[in-house]
Structure 1
Amino acid sequence: EQKERLVRELVSGNLTPAAKSALHIEQVASFGNACGSIACVHSLSNADLSITGPLAHFRETTAHMSTARERGNILVASDIHSLSDKSASDSVAQTVCPDTGDTYLGHHYCSFVSMNAHIVELDGTKASPVDHGPISSDSDLLKEAARVVREEWMQVEPDRIDFSLMALAKTG
Protein backbone atom coordinates (compact mmCIF):
# COMPACT_ATOMS: atom_id res chain seq x y z
CA GLU A 1 0.00 0.00 0.00
CA GLN A 2 2.79 2.43 0.96
CA LYS A 3 4.78 1.52 -2.15
CA GLU A 4 1.76 2.03 -4.41
CA ARG A 5 1.18 5.47 -2.87
CA LEU A 6 4.82 6.42 -3.45
CA VAL A 7 4.66 5.34 -7.09
CA ARG A 8 1.42 7.30 -7.62
CA GLU A 9 2.99 10.41 -6.09
CA LEU A 10 6.08 10.19 -8.25
CA VAL A 11 4.15 9.53 -11.45
CA SER A 12 1.55 12.23 -10.84
CA GLY A 13 3.97 14.77 -9.44
CA ASN A 14 1.76 15.14 -6.35
CA LEU A 15 4.36 15.31 -3.64
CA THR A 16 3.53 15.42 0.05
CA PRO A 17 4.19 18.68 1.90
CA ALA A 18 7.21 17.05 3.57
CA ALA A 19 8.71 16.05 0.20
CA LYS A 20 7.96 19.49 -1.27
CA SER A 21 9.71 21.25 1.60
CA ALA A 22 12.99 19.37 1.08
CA LEU A 23 15.80 21.02 -0.84
CA HIS A 24 16.39 18.39 -3.55
CA ILE A 25 19.42 18.39 -5.85
CA GLU A 26 19.78 16.53 -9.13
CA GLN A 27 23.10 14.79 -9.58
CA VAL A 28 23.76 16.26 -13.00
CA ALA A 29 26.19 14.38 -15.24
CA SER A 30 28.82 17.11 -15.13
CA PHE A 31 29.15 16.67 -11.34
CA GLY A 32 30.44 13.15 -11.96
CA ASN A 33 30.15 10.05 -9.80
CA ALA A 34 29.93 11.90 -6.52
CA CYS A 35 26.73 10.53 -5.00
CA GLY A 36 28.38 10.52 -1.56
CA SER A 37 29.02 14.25 -1.82
CA ILE A 38 25.47 14.84 -3.08
CA ALA A 39 24.09 12.82 -0.15
CA CYS A 40 26.10 14.91 2.32
CA VAL A 41 24.95 18.16 0.72
CA HIS A 42 21.35 16.88 0.83
CA SER A 43 21.68 16.04 4.53
CA LEU A 44 23.36 19.27 5.58
CA SER A 45 21.22 21.54 3.38
CA ASN A 46 18.04 20.12 4.89
CA ALA A 47 19.23 20.04 8.50
CA ASP A 48 18.24 22.63 11.04
CA LEU A 49 21.83 23.78 11.44
CA SER A 50 23.68 27.04 11.38
CA ILE A 51 26.20 26.52 8.59
CA THR A 52 28.85 28.75 7.03
CA GLY A 53 31.13 28.75 4.03
CA PRO A 54 30.41 27.29 0.59
CA LEU A 55 27.49 25.17 1.81
CA ALA A 56 25.75 28.18 3.39
CA HIS A 57 26.24 30.13 0.15
CA PHE A 58 24.83 27.22 -1.88
CA ARG A 59 21.80 26.88 0.39
CA GLU A 60 21.07 30.63 0.24
CA THR A 61 21.56 30.77 -3.54
CA THR A 62 19.35 27.79 -4.34
CA ALA A 63 16.58 28.05 -1.72
CA HIS A 64 14.27 29.92 -4.13
CA MET A 65 14.94 27.65 -7.13
CA SER A 66 12.07 25.47 -8.25
CA THR A 67 13.88 22.51 -9.79
CA ALA A 68 16.45 19.99 -8.61
CA ARG A 69 18.26 20.37 -11.94
CA GLU A 70 18.78 24.11 -11.38
CA ARG A 71 20.30 23.33 -7.99
CA GLY A 72 22.47 20.58 -9.51
CA ASN A 73 23.84 22.96 -12.13
CA ILE A 74 24.63 25.57 -9.47
CA LEU A 75 26.34 22.88 -7.38
CA VAL A 76 28.61 21.97 -10.32
CA ALA A 77 29.78 25.59 -10.53
CA SER A 78 30.28 25.92 -6.77
CA ASP A 79 33.30 25.54 -4.53
CA ILE A 80 31.60 22.42 -3.13
CA HIS A 81 32.20 20.60 -6.43
CA SER A 82 35.90 21.41 -6.52
CA LEU A 83 36.26 20.50 -2.82
CA SER A 84 34.45 17.20 -3.48
CA ASP A 85 36.75 16.35 -6.37
CA LYS A 86 39.84 17.35 -4.40
CA SER A 87 38.96 15.29 -1.33
CA ALA A 88 37.96 12.25 -3.40
CA SER A 89 41.27 12.26 -5.28
CA ASP A 90 43.40 12.97 -2.21
CA SER A 91 46.00 10.33 -1.33
CA VAL A 92 44.28 9.67 2.04
CA ALA A 93 40.97 8.78 0.35
CA GLN A 94 40.09 5.14 0.97
CA THR A 95 38.34 4.46 -2.32
CA VAL A 96 39.70 4.67 -5.85
CA CYS A 97 37.82 7.35 -7.76
CA PRO A 98 35.77 5.95 -10.63
CA ASP A 99 36.08 7.54 -14.04
CA THR A 100 33.56 10.33 -14.46
CA GLY A 101 32.24 8.61 -17.56
CA ASP A 102 31.38 5.36 -15.75
CA THR A 103 27.61 5.01 -15.86
CA TYR A 104 27.15 1.95 -13.64
CA LEU A 105 29.13 1.57 -10.46
CA GLY A 106 27.03 -0.98 -8.58
CA HIS A 107 26.81 1.12 -5.42
CA HIS A 108 25.10 4.36 -4.52
CA TYR A 109 24.52 6.82 -1.68
CA CYS A 110 21.34 8.69 -0.86
CA SER A 111 20.23 10.63 2.19
CA PHE A 112 17.38 10.37 4.69
CA VAL A 113 16.23 13.52 6.45
CA SER A 114 13.41 14.44 8.78
CA MET A 115 11.07 16.99 7.20
CA ASN A 116 7.82 18.08 8.87
CA ALA A 117 7.84 14.94 11.05
CA HIS A 118 8.24 12.65 8.00
CA ILE A 119 11.24 10.62 6.88
CA VAL A 120 12.19 11.80 3.39
CA GLU A 121 14.66 10.11 1.04
CA LEU A 122 16.79 12.41 -1.08
CA ASP A 123 18.55 10.84 -4.03
CA GLY A 124 20.17 12.93 -6.75
CA THR A 125 19.30 10.29 -9.36
CA LYS A 126 15.56 10.37 -8.59
CA ALA A 127 13.13 12.89 -10.03
CA SER A 128 11.92 14.03 -6.62
CA PRO A 129 12.18 13.41 -2.89
CA VAL A 130 10.42 10.30 -1.60
CA ASP A 131 8.29 10.63 1.55
CA HIS A 132 8.48 7.35 3.48
CA GLY A 133 5.84 8.39 5.98
CA PRO A 134 5.47 10.00 9.36
CA ILE A 135 7.86 9.61 12.25
CA SER A 136 7.19 10.58 15.83
CA SER A 137 8.97 13.59 17.27
CA ASP A 138 10.85 11.40 19.74
CA SER A 139 11.90 8.93 17.04
CA ASP A 140 15.54 8.39 16.17
CA LEU A 141 16.20 9.30 12.51
CA LEU A 142 18.89 6.62 12.17
CA LYS A 143 16.50 3.93 13.39
CA GLU A 144 13.80 5.18 11.01
CA ALA A 145 16.23 5.20 8.07
CA ALA A 146 17.34 1.67 8.99
CA ARG A 147 13.69 0.60 9.08
CA VAL A 148 13.09 2.00 5.57
CA VAL A 149 16.22 0.26 4.24
CA ARG A 150 15.22 -3.01 5.89
CA GLU A 151 11.54 -2.97 4.89
CA GLU A 152 11.69 -1.33 1.47
CA TRP A 153 15.06 -2.42 0.13
CA MET A 154 16.43 -5.46 1.94
CA GLN A 155 13.12 -7.34 2.01
CA VAL A 156 12.80 -6.74 -1.73
CA GLU A 157 16.29 -8.17 -2.38
CA PRO A 158 16.99 -10.41 0.65
CA ASP A 159 20.11 -11.98 -0.88
CA ARG A 160 21.92 -8.65 -1.19
CA ILE A 161 24.20 -7.87 1.69
CA ASP A 162 25.81 -4.66 0.49
CA PHE A 163 23.70 -2.14 2.40
CA SER A 164 25.34 0.18 4.87
CA LEU A 165 24.33 3.34 6.68
CA MET A 166 26.33 6.36 7.69
CA ALA A 167 25.09 9.02 10.09
CA LEU A 168 25.94 12.69 10.25
CA ALA A 169 25.36 13.65 13.87
CA LYS A 170 26.06 16.42 16.33
CA THR A 171 28.52 15.62 19.07
CA GLY A 172 28.07 16.44 22.71
Structure 2
Amino acid sequence: MSDSGWNTIESDAGVFTELIETLGVKAVQLDELLTLDPTSLSALAPLYGVIFLFKWTQSAASQTTDGGVYVPEVEHEIFFARQKIQNACATQAILSVLMNREEIKLGSALDEFKSFTTGFDGELRGETISNSDLIRSTHNSFSRPTPFVDESIAPRTATDDDDLYHFIAYVPISGTLYELDGLQPAPISHGPCTDDEFPEKVVEVLYRRIARYDASEVRFNLLAVCADRRELWSNIGDFERLERENEKRAEWRRENILRRENFVGLIAEMLKYVVDDVVEKGGDTAFEGIIDQAKEKSAQRYLQSKT
Protein backbone atom coordinates (compact mmCIF):
# COMPACT_ATOMS: atom_id res chain seq x y z
CA MET A 1 0.00 0.00 0.00
CA SER A 2 1.24 3.44 -0.85
CA ASP A 3 0.69 6.22 1.70
CA SER A 4 1.89 9.03 -0.57
CA GLY A 5 0.07 12.25 0.26
CA TRP A 6 -1.58 11.05 3.50
CA ASN A 7 -0.06 12.03 6.86
CA THR A 8 -0.35 10.31 10.22
CA ILE A 9 -2.87 11.92 12.56
CA GLU A 10 -3.25 11.42 16.29
CA SER A 11 -5.88 9.06 17.69
CA ASP A 12 -7.92 11.58 19.64
CA ALA A 13 -11.65 12.14 20.04
CA GLY A 14 -11.26 15.91 19.64
CA VAL A 15 -9.28 15.50 16.42
CA PHE A 16 -11.77 13.10 14.87
CA THR A 17 -14.80 15.16 15.94
CA GLU A 18 -13.46 18.34 14.35
CA LEU A 19 -12.36 16.35 11.30
CA ILE A 20 -15.87 15.06 10.54
CA GLU A 21 -17.38 18.47 11.28
CA THR A 22 -14.95 19.99 8.76
CA LEU A 23 -16.20 17.44 6.22
CA GLY A 24 -19.74 18.70 6.86
CA VAL A 25 -21.17 16.07 9.24
CA LYS A 26 -23.77 17.47 11.64
CA ALA A 27 -24.64 16.58 15.25
CA VAL A 28 -22.11 13.73 15.62
CA GLN A 29 -19.08 13.45 17.87
CA LEU A 30 -16.54 10.87 19.01
CA ASP A 31 -15.86 10.05 22.64
CA GLU A 32 -13.11 7.93 24.13
CA LEU A 33 -14.17 5.02 26.34
CA LEU A 34 -12.03 4.48 29.43
CA THR A 35 -13.57 1.09 30.25
CA LEU A 36 -14.69 -1.74 28.00
CA ASP A 37 -18.16 -2.54 29.29
CA PRO A 38 -21.71 -2.36 27.87
CA THR A 39 -22.87 0.12 30.50
CA SER A 40 -20.35 2.76 29.43
CA LEU A 41 -21.41 2.36 25.80
CA SER A 42 -25.12 2.43 26.60
CA ALA A 43 -24.63 5.75 28.42
CA LEU A 44 -23.65 7.32 25.06
CA ALA A 45 -26.92 6.52 23.31
CA PRO A 46 -27.84 7.29 20.61
CA LEU A 47 -24.74 5.31 19.60
CA TYR A 48 -23.98 4.83 15.88
CA GLY A 49 -20.90 2.58 16.09
CA VAL A 50 -17.45 2.23 17.61
CA ILE A 51 -13.88 2.56 16.35
CA PHE A 52 -11.35 0.12 17.80
CA LEU A 53 -7.63 0.88 17.78
CA PHE A 54 -5.10 -1.88 18.39
CA LYS A 55 -1.47 -2.75 17.78
CA TRP A 56 -1.17 -4.64 14.51
CA THR A 57 0.89 -7.81 14.66
CA GLN A 58 1.31 -10.58 12.13
CA SER A 59 0.59 -13.22 14.76
CA ALA A 60 -2.68 -11.62 15.91
CA ALA A 61 -3.75 -10.97 12.33
CA SER A 62 -3.43 -14.65 11.45
CA GLN A 63 -6.81 -15.28 13.12
CA THR A 64 -9.30 -13.33 11.10
CA THR A 65 -12.99 -13.21 11.95
CA ASP A 66 -13.41 -13.79 15.71
CA GLY A 67 -16.35 -16.11 15.04
CA GLY A 68 -17.95 -13.93 12.35
CA VAL A 69 -18.48 -14.70 8.66
CA TYR A 70 -17.64 -12.76 5.51
CA VAL A 71 -20.57 -11.30 3.57
CA PRO A 72 -20.70 -9.61 0.13
CA GLU A 73 -20.99 -5.89 0.79
CA VAL A 74 -22.88 -4.97 -2.40
CA GLU A 75 -25.50 -7.66 -1.86
CA HIS A 76 -26.08 -6.49 1.71
CA GLU A 77 -25.97 -2.77 0.78
CA ILE A 78 -23.06 -2.05 3.11
CA PHE A 79 -20.60 0.79 2.56
CA PHE A 80 -17.28 -1.05 2.75
CA ALA A 81 -13.90 0.08 1.46
CA ARG A 82 -10.61 -1.80 1.22
CA GLN A 83 -7.67 0.06 2.72
CA LYS A 84 -5.37 1.43 0.02
CA ILE A 85 -3.57 4.09 2.08
CA GLN A 86 -1.80 3.08 5.30
CA ASN A 87 -2.10 6.41 7.11
CA ALA A 88 -5.79 6.79 6.25
CA CYS A 89 -7.12 3.86 8.30
CA ALA A 90 -8.53 6.06 11.10
CA THR A 91 -10.45 8.32 8.73
CA GLN A 92 -11.60 5.31 6.71
CA ALA A 93 -12.90 3.54 9.83
CA ILE A 94 -14.87 6.63 10.82
CA LEU A 95 -16.34 6.87 7.32
CA SER A 96 -17.39 3.23 7.65
CA VAL A 97 -19.65 4.23 10.54
CA LEU A 98 -20.92 7.50 9.08
CA MET A 99 -21.78 6.08 5.67
CA ASN A 100 -23.73 3.14 7.09
CA ARG A 101 -26.06 5.04 9.42
CA GLU A 102 -28.92 6.58 7.49
CA GLU A 103 -29.94 8.90 10.34
CA ILE A 104 -26.59 10.75 10.26
CA LYS A 105 -26.59 14.07 8.39
CA LEU A 106 -23.47 13.75 6.28
CA GLY A 107 -23.53 17.16 4.63
CA SER A 108 -23.47 17.84 0.91
CA ALA A 109 -19.87 16.75 0.22
CA LEU A 110 -20.12 13.31 1.84
CA ASP A 111 -23.68 12.82 0.55
CA GLU A 112 -22.31 13.34 -2.95
CA PHE A 113 -19.39 10.99 -2.25
CA LYS A 114 -21.73 8.29 -0.93
CA SER A 115 -24.05 8.64 -3.92
CA PHE A 116 -21.12 8.52 -6.35
CA THR A 117 -19.76 5.29 -4.85
CA THR A 118 -23.11 3.49 -4.63
CA GLY A 119 -22.72 0.07 -6.24
CA PHE A 120 -18.90 0.15 -6.05
CA ASP A 121 -17.15 -2.88 -4.58
CA GLY A 122 -14.69 -2.54 -1.68
CA GLU A 123 -11.65 -2.28 -3.94
CA LEU A 124 -13.07 0.59 -5.98
CA ARG A 125 -14.40 2.40 -2.91
CA GLY A 126 -10.94 2.19 -1.33
CA GLU A 127 -9.37 3.70 -4.46
CA THR A 128 -12.01 6.44 -4.50
CA ILE A 129 -11.30 7.41 -0.90
CA SER A 130 -7.54 7.47 -1.53
CA ASN A 131 -8.07 9.76 -4.54
CA SER A 132 -10.49 12.17 -2.82
CA ASP A 133 -8.81 15.57 -2.54
CA LEU A 134 -11.42 16.72 0.00
CA ILE A 135 -11.01 13.79 2.38
CA ARG A 136 -7.22 13.74 2.05
CA SER A 137 -6.77 17.48 2.59
CA THR A 138 -9.13 17.48 5.58
CA HIS A 139 -7.35 14.47 7.07
CA ASN A 140 -3.92 16.06 6.55
CA SER A 141 -5.01 19.35 8.13
CA PHE A 142 -4.97 17.57 11.52
CA SER A 143 -1.45 16.14 11.24
CA ARG A 144 1.36 17.46 13.39
CA PRO A 145 4.29 19.26 11.68
CA THR A 146 7.22 16.83 11.36
CA PRO A 147 10.32 18.90 10.52
CA PHE A 148 12.79 16.08 11.30
CA VAL A 149 11.26 13.29 9.18
CA ASP A 150 13.83 11.68 6.88
CA GLU A 151 12.01 11.36 3.55
CA SER A 152 14.76 9.08 2.20
CA ILE A 153 13.87 6.20 4.52
CA ALA A 154 11.88 3.59 2.63
CA PRO A 155 8.96 1.79 4.32
CA ARG A 156 9.99 -1.48 5.99
CA THR A 157 8.18 -4.75 6.07
CA ALA A 158 6.09 -4.74 9.24
CA THR A 159 7.03 -7.12 12.04
CA ASP A 160 5.57 -7.69 15.49
CA ASP A 161 8.29 -5.43 16.93
CA ASP A 162 7.10 -2.43 14.91
CA ASP A 163 4.70 0.01 16.54
CA LEU A 164 1.99 -0.18 13.90
CA TYR A 165 -1.61 0.52 14.84
CA HIS A 166 -4.82 -0.13 12.99
CA PHE A 167 -8.40 1.14 13.23
CA ILE A 168 -11.53 -0.85 12.46
CA ALA A 169 -15.24 -0.07 12.78
CA TYR A 170 -18.07 -2.03 14.35
CA VAL A 171 -21.54 -0.93 13.28
CA PRO A 172 -25.08 -2.26 13.70
CA ILE A 173 -26.62 -2.17 10.20
CA SER A 174 -30.17 -3.34 9.42
CA GLY A 175 -30.30 -5.62 12.45
CA THR A 176 -26.81 -7.15 12.09
CA LEU A 177 -23.50 -6.37 13.80
CA TYR A 178 -20.78 -5.83 11.19
CA GLU A 179 -17.03 -5.52 11.53
CA LEU A 180 -15.65 -3.23 8.81
CA ASP A 181 -11.90 -3.63 8.46
CA GLY A 182 -10.21 -2.29 5.34
CA LEU A 183 -7.51 -4.97 5.57
CA GLN A 184 -10.12 -7.71 5.24
CA PRO A 185 -11.53 -8.83 1.87
CA ALA A 186 -15.16 -8.13 2.87
CA PRO A 187 -17.39 -7.06 5.78
CA ILE A 188 -17.63 -9.56 8.65
CA SER A 189 -21.05 -10.34 10.12
CA HIS A 190 -21.20 -11.11 13.84
CA GLY A 191 -24.87 -12.04 13.82
CA PRO A 192 -28.20 -10.40 14.63
CA CYS A 193 -27.94 -7.17 16.62
CA THR A 194 -30.35 -4.31 17.27
CA ASP A 195 -29.20 -0.84 18.30
CA ASP A 196 -30.21 -1.62 21.89
CA GLU A 197 -28.22 -4.87 21.86
CA PHE A 198 -25.17 -3.31 20.22
CA PRO A 199 -23.26 -2.28 23.41
CA GLU A 200 -23.38 -5.78 24.89
CA LYS A 201 -22.73 -7.69 21.66
CA VAL A 202 -19.87 -5.53 20.41
CA VAL A 203 -18.10 -5.83 23.78
CA GLU A 204 -18.27 -9.63 23.45
CA VAL A 205 -16.65 -9.43 19.99
CA LEU A 206 -13.98 -7.03 21.23
CA TYR A 207 -13.03 -9.31 24.09
CA ARG A 208 -12.55 -12.15 21.60
CA ARG A 209 -10.25 -9.95 19.53
CA ILE A 210 -8.26 -8.82 22.58
CA ALA A 211 -7.86 -12.46 23.56
CA ARG A 212 -5.60 -12.93 20.50
CA TYR A 213 -2.89 -11.00 22.38
CA ASP A 214 -0.72 -11.79 25.36
CA ALA A 215 -2.19 -10.73 28.70
CA SER A 216 0.58 -8.10 28.99
CA GLU A 217 -0.67 -6.21 25.90
CA VAL A 218 -2.71 -3.17 26.95
CA ARG A 219 -2.39 -0.91 23.92
CA PHE A 220 -6.03 -0.77 22.89
CA ASN A 221 -8.35 2.18 22.48
CA LEU A 222 -12.09 2.41 21.88
CA LEU A 223 -13.88 5.44 20.46
CA ALA A 224 -17.66 5.76 20.36
CA VAL A 225 -19.35 7.49 17.42
CA CYS A 226 -22.43 9.04 18.99
CA ALA A 227 -24.83 11.97 18.80
CA ASP A 228 -23.56 15.42 19.75
CA ARG A 229 -23.89 15.52 23.54
CA ARG A 230 -24.42 19.29 23.53
CA GLU A 231 -27.70 18.89 21.65
CA LEU A 232 -28.79 16.07 23.95
CA TRP A 233 -28.11 17.98 27.18
CA SER A 234 -29.66 21.15 25.78
CA ASN A 235 -32.83 19.33 24.71
CA ILE A 236 -33.38 17.81 28.16
CA GLY A 237 -32.37 20.97 30.02
CA ASP A 238 -29.28 19.53 31.73
CA PHE A 239 -27.29 22.75 31.69
CA GLU A 240 -24.59 21.54 34.08
CA ARG A 241 -23.61 18.75 31.67
CA LEU A 242 -24.00 21.14 28.75
CA GLU A 243 -21.51 23.53 30.33
CA ARG A 244 -19.01 20.70 30.89
CA GLU A 245 -19.44 19.59 27.28
CA ASN A 246 -18.86 23.13 26.03
CA GLU A 247 -15.70 23.34 28.14
CA LYS A 248 -14.51 20.04 26.68
CA ARG A 249 -15.13 21.31 23.14
CA ALA A 250 -13.20 24.51 23.88
CA GLU A 251 -10.25 22.41 25.14
CA TRP A 252 -10.45 20.20 22.03
CA ARG A 253 -10.35 23.30 19.86
CA ARG A 254 -7.35 24.73 21.71
CA GLU A 255 -5.44 21.43 21.45
CA ASN A 256 -6.19 21.10 17.74
CA ILE A 257 -4.86 24.61 17.09
CA LEU A 258 -1.66 23.77 18.97
CA ARG A 259 -1.28 20.49 17.03
CA ARG A 260 -1.00 22.44 13.79
CA GLU A 261 1.80 24.67 15.04
CA ASN A 262 5.51 24.01 14.56
CA PHE A 263 7.28 25.10 17.74
CA VAL A 264 10.79 24.04 16.68
CA GLY A 265 11.92 27.60 15.93
CA LEU A 266 10.50 28.93 19.20
CA ILE A 267 12.15 26.16 21.24
CA ALA A 268 15.49 26.73 19.50
CA GLU A 269 15.41 30.46 20.30
CA MET A 270 14.46 29.78 23.92
CA LEU A 271 17.34 27.33 24.30
CA LYS A 272 19.77 29.86 22.85
CA TYR A 273 18.56 32.44 25.35
CA VAL A 274 18.85 30.02 28.29
CA VAL A 275 22.35 28.87 27.29
CA ASP A 276 23.56 32.47 26.85
CA ASP A 277 22.06 33.40 30.22
CA VAL A 278 23.65 30.41 31.95
CA VAL A 279 27.10 31.18 30.50
CA GLU A 280 26.80 34.81 31.52
CA LYS A 281 25.72 34.02 35.11
CA GLY A 282 28.17 31.25 35.90
CA GLY A 283 27.41 27.85 34.47
CA ASP A 284 25.68 24.90 36.14
CA THR A 285 24.73 26.70 39.35
CA ALA A 286 22.98 29.45 37.42
CA PHE A 287 21.24 26.86 35.26
CA GLU A 288 19.81 25.13 38.34
CA GLY A 289 18.59 28.50 39.60
CA ILE A 290 16.79 29.20 36.32
CA ILE A 291 15.03 25.82 36.53
CA ASP A 292 13.96 26.50 40.12
CA GLN A 293 12.60 29.91 39.16
CA ALA A 294 10.67 28.42 36.25
CA LYS A 295 9.16 25.74 38.50
CA GLU A 296 8.11 28.36 41.03
CA LYS A 297 6.47 30.56 38.38
CA SER A 298 4.66 27.56 36.85
CA ALA A 299 3.32 26.59 40.28
CA GLN A 300 2.11 30.15 40.89
CA ARG A 301 0.32 30.28 37.52
CA TYR A 302 -1.32 26.92 38.23
CA LEU A 303 -2.58 28.11 41.63
CA GLN A 304 -3.87 31.35 40.10
CA SER A 305 -5.78 29.41 37.41
CA LYS A 306 -7.61 27.46 40.18
CA THR A 307 -8.74 30.54 42.07
Determine the C-alpha separation between the residues in 2 that align with 1:100 and 1:74. Answer: 25
SS of 2:76's partner is helix
Q: Distance in 1 between matches of 2:222 and 2:75?
A: 21
Q: Structure 2: which 5+ runs fail to align?
A: 1-64, 233-307
What percent identity do the matched residue pairs reach? 22
| In 2: Cα distance, 1:100 partner to 1:125 partner | 21
| SS class of match (1:164) | strand
Decide whether the 8 Å contact of 1:26 with 1:68 is kept in 2.
yes
Distance 1:170 1:18, change over 3 A: farther
In structure 1, the gaps of 5 or more residues are: none
- Offset at residue 46 of structure 1 (A): 0.8
Shift, 1:90, TM fit: 4.0
Rg larger in structure: 2
Pick from 219, 233, 245: which aligns with 1:162?
Answer: 219
Q: Give matches, 1:29-48, under 5 Å.
A: 31-48=85-102
Residue identity in the other structure for 1:32: Q
Matches within 5 A, 1:11-160: 15=71, 20-28=76-84, 31-48=85-102, 49-65=104-120, 67-78=121-132, 79-87=134-142, 89-90=143-144, 101=155, 104=158, 105-139=163-197, 141-150=198-207, 152-159=208-215, 160=217
RMSD, aligned CA: 3.0
Per the normalisation by structure 2, the TM-score is 0.44
Deviations 1:87-117 (A, max 9, x none): 2x245xxxx9xx9946534321100111121
Report how many residues are paired: 153
State the 1:147 CA deviation: 1.9
Q: 1 or 2, which has the higher strand percentage?
A: 2
8 Å CA contact 1:123, 1:129 repeated in 2: yes
Amino acid in the other structure paired with 1:38: Q
User: Counterpart of 1:134 in structure 2: which amino acid?
Assistant: P
Distance 1:82 1:20 in 2: 31
Change (3 A) 1:19 1:170: farther
Query: Displacement, 1:20?
Result: 2.8
Tell me, yes or no, if the aligned pair for 2:73 and 2:186 is still in contact at 8 Å. Answer: no
For normalisation by structure 1, the TM-score amounts to 0.75
Other structure's SS at 2:136 match: helix
**Is the Cα–Cα contact under 8 Å of residues 73 and 79 in structure 2 kept in the other structure?**
no
State the alpha-carbon separation in 2 of the partners of residues 146 and 44 from structure 1.
20
Q: Shift of residue 54 of structure 1?
A: 2.8
> 1:35 and 1:115, CA in 2 relative to 1: closer, same or farther beyond 3 A?
same
Contact 2:176–2:189 (CA under 8 A) maintained in structure 1: yes
Q: Which amino acid in the other structure matches residue 138 of structure 1?
A: D
CA contact (8 A) 2:97 2:169 kept: yes
Q: CA deviation at 1:120?
A: 0.2
- Distance in 1 (CA, whole Å) between partners of 2:209 and 2:91 is 22
